[in-house]
Amino acid sequence: MTNPLLSHWDTPFEIAPFDRIKDEDFAPAFETALAQHNAEIDAIAANPEAPTFANTIEALEAAGEAMDKVLSVFFTVAGADSNPEREKLQRDFSPKLAAHFAAISSNKPLFKRVADLWARKDDLGLSEEQQRVLMLTHRGFVRAGAALEGEADKRMAEIKGRLATLGTQFTQNLLADEREWFMEVGEEDLEGLPDFVVGTMRAAGREKGVEGPIVTTSRSIITPFLQFSPRRNLREKAYKAFVARGANGGDHDNRDIAAEILKLREERAKLLGYDNFAAYKLETEMAKTPDKVEELLLAVWQPAKVRAEEDAKVLEAMMHKDGINGGLEAWDWHYYAAKRRKAEHDLDEAALKPYLQLDRMIEAAFACANRLFGLEFKPLDVALYHPDCRGWEVTRNGKHVAVFIGDYFARGSKRSGAWCSAMRAQAKFPKVQAPVVINVCNFAKADPALLSYDDARTLFHEFGHALHQMLSDVTYESISGTSVARDFVELPSQLYEHWLEVPAVLEEFATHAETGEPMPKAMLDKVLGAANFDQGFQTVEYVASALVDLEFHKGAAPVDPMTMQAEVLERLGMPKQIAMRHATPQFAHVFSGDGYSSGYYSYMWSEVMDADAFEAFEEAGDPFDPAKAKALEAHILSTGGSKEAEDLYTAFRGRMPGVEALLKGRGLAA
């Protein structure tokens, strides 16, 4: 019987046939695809003909189709619907993949062909896009260590293999801690909790096989629990469990793993001739240097810290008024901030939530994409990897553009957070292929599913990433969609969040779950008026994480990352009532792989641009201005990594922005 992962997918739009794929199919398909890719690479490297763009660079672009199919399915389910078998496969696959790609990057005959083309680049008659692909391919080989010889070459391969194993272990440890810890709550402890929170807690209890409601460390449960529960002792217990993830001792402790990862990254950078890992990593980003990153983060840190300290005094006074003596603690912040928001903005999360139905917010994201870019979304009846998933065909002027999949609900088998990935990226070579894009979120499951305002913002954020994938219009997959500098990749996603705050969008789509009535004008005004509420707290917890990440990578690797984390926070004067958004043992952005390592700052770098980019629409007098939308698609959303990020942004806006728009947008301007 043919392995469904390796056969032609005779499904609508060639979506993976999830209903026919079994866990036991992955390992044999992986081995077959790996061998096939090796044979393709060997054939390119051993080609007796002189190197040409077609027989070397385009041949590399075309190689690995079977690998892409197998891995796109596997990593989708491993992240969003894991089980012990998939976790074991991930531990098996990671070092093999690292060794495989290390072997490609250290293939001397192959690199010789690429280097030969690079030396003759001006005489090859290449298009602008082909020149870009050649440059990126050559640079990728050099940065991967292709020019290393002997022991250095061998050591680089060992480092990559070990890092892949450690990254997988870090992620699985975190998932295990999140899955295993929960706190049973008695009926008497539900006082003050809105119905939607209690319903979510009861559903979580049923999932764990527990009679009655529970608190878990899923953000979709713990955040509203911290906001609404008047039981300070329970808030403290839940909060301490949340911040201790990955640092509980035993088999799932991530602290030693983080230390080893940092040490190996430093060694890797030095093998390639860089002073430190941050210098290596940032060379290809917009920021270029650690100093520039630090300059941006500190410019935002100071006003944010001042605001947070002012807010802490107000919240502490509220707590004392409640008869609780002593200082405000981290597990008190959400509770009193929610009370303060209700008092100052008359905005009650429990009253707001029924107006933010998941289905209506999905419609809102689609409607904005229709008004801006002419996209239309039609539900698809196809088998996907989990019953919670939904699919849509995306068209424009009747022509197929993409398939979009949404997987919105939290569950024990899904890692925390929210993300977007392309199960198939857009390309025109070696054949035309339309993208299959997925958004994965962790919203509380209920009927109807109701979102917090932050949840709704997350939905728009991930859909902004999806648009970057869906509207991509380049020839080569290696520069398609979100294949851009890390500190540019968050621009489309963060920019798209702004359309959630367009009053006309909420007026149309924020309708009450029971009555169907639109959000009252007074509430809408309060929502928009409170958009910058608690920005001191939110900015401090984020910037602290980004500065710790940078410090980890810009010098000698710390022997004990937790000690260095404490030293950085002490030096910054971190308010004691606020924790880093991601402490080291749970900082998956930085330690599950290289993606955001010394790059967590990139959300803020992109925010400088997104604040400025949305101002372009405001200056035009219309958030849906057709000319600006067309320019946004032409210069940013459709272009992938076909040009330098700075050139793409400048083509759209005419200049690069300063930090002022960001401070103004966060309400932190002097």
Q: For residue 295, what is the domain's CATH number?
A: 1.10.1370.10
The three-class DSSP label of residue 278 is helix
Average pLDDT of the segment spanning 648-668: 93
DSSP code string of 591-608? HSSSTTTTTTTHHHHHHH
Cβ-contact 173, 111 below 8 angstroms? no
Lowest-confidence segment of 30-44, 198-212, 266-280 by average pLDDT: 198-212
Q: Are residues 419 and 510 in the same domain?
A: yes
Are 478 and 584 within one domain?
A: no
Task: Judge whether 420 and 437 are in contact, CB under 8 Å.
Answer: yes
Identify whether 363 is a catalytic site residue.
Answer: no
The answer to whether residue 72 scores a pLDDT higher than 80 is yes
Mean pLDDT, rounded, of the chain: 96
| 5 part of a folded domain | no
pLDDT at residue 359, as a whole number: 98
Residue 32: band (very low, low, confident or very high) from pLDDT cuts 50, 70, 90: very high
Q: How confident is the model at residue 617 (pLDDT cuts 50, 70, 90)?
A: very high
Q: Identify whether residues 106 and 194 lie together within a single domain.
A: no
pLDDT surpassing 80 at residue 157:
yes
In terms of Cα–Cα distance, which of 296, 273, 308 is closest to 550?
A: 296
Confidence of residue 25 (pLDDT cuts 50, 70, 90): very high
CA pair distance 348, 342, nearest whole angstrom: 5
Q: What per-residue confidence (pLDDT) applies to 263?
A: 98
d(C-alpha 178, C-alpha 197), whole Å: 19
- Do 224 and 342 belong together in one domain? no
User: Is 521 within the bounds of a domain?
Assistant: yes
- How high is the pLDDT of residue 531? 87
- Report, as an integer, the average pLDDT of 3-13: 97
Please tell me whether residues 360 and 458 are part of one structural domain: yes
Residue 543 belongs to a domain: yes
Compute CA distances 29 → 66, 161, 510, whole Å: 9, 21, 46
pLDDT more than 90, % of the chain = 96
> Do 387 and 501 belong together in one domain?
yes
- Please state, for a pLDDT cut of 70, what percent of the chain lies above it: 100
Whether pLDDT at 7 is above 80:
yes
Residue 165 belongs to some domain of the structure: yes
Q: Are residues 499 and 648 in the same domain?
A: yes
For 162, counting Cβ atoms within 10 Å of its Cβ (0-12 exposed, 13-18 middle, 19+ buried), the class is middle
Q: Exposed/middle/buried for 378, CB within 10 Å: 0-12, 13-18, 19+?
A: exposed
The Cα 476–Cα 412 span in angstroms is 37
Instruction: Please indicate, yes or no, whether residues 238 and 260 belong to a single structural domain of this protein.
Output: no
Number of independent structural domains in the chain: 4
In a domain, 4, yes or no: no
User: Using N-to-C axis directions, what is the helix angle for 23-45 and 108-119, rounded to 10°?
Assistant: 60
> Among 224, 245, 266, which residue terminates a domain?
245
Q: How confident is the model at residue 661 (pLDDT cuts 50, 70, 90)?
A: confident
Looking at the structure, do residues 393 and 512 belong to the same domain, yes or no? yes
In this model, does residue 670 exceed pLDDT 80?
no
Query: Out of 40, 58, 294, 462, which one is annotated catalytic?
Result: 462
In a domain, 6, yes or no: no
Specify the CATH number for the domain of residue 63.
1.10.1370.40
Nearest to residue 552, comparing CAs of 520, 509, 582?
Answer: 582
Q: Which residue has the tokens 């391919």?
A: 137
- Write down the pLDDT at residue 349: 85
Provide the pLDDT for residue 58.
98
Calculate mean pLDDT across residues 296-320: 97
Residue 203 has pLDDT above 80, yes or no: yes
pLDDT band at residue 91, thresholds of 50, 70 and 90?
A: very high
Cβ atoms of 267 and 157 within 8 Å: the answer is: no
Q: State the pLDDT at residue 420.
A: 98
Q: Give the tokens for residue 171.
A: 């992620």
Last residue of a domain, one of 191, 221, 245: 245
Kindly state whether residues 404 and 519 are assigned to the same domain.
Answer: yes
pLDDT tens-digit profile of 131-143?
A: 999 999 999 999 9
What kind and span of H or E run contains 183? Answer: strand 182-184
Confidence of residue 126 (pLDDT cuts 50, 70, 90): very high
Per-residue pLDDT at 665? 87
Taking residues 318-340, what's their average pLDDT? 97
Write the CB contacts of 116 (distance below 8 Å, at least 6 apart in sequence): 51
d(CA 598, CA 591): 10
Check whether residue 400 and residue 460 sit in a common domain.
yes
Is the predicted pLDDT of residue 430 greater than 80, yes or no? Answer: yes
Residue 1 lies in a domain: no
Same domain, 118 and 131: yes
The answer to whether residue 174 is domain-embedded is: no
What average pLDDT does this structure show over 584-605? 96
* Residue 41 lies in domain: 12-169
Last residue of a domain, one of 550, 570, 600: 600
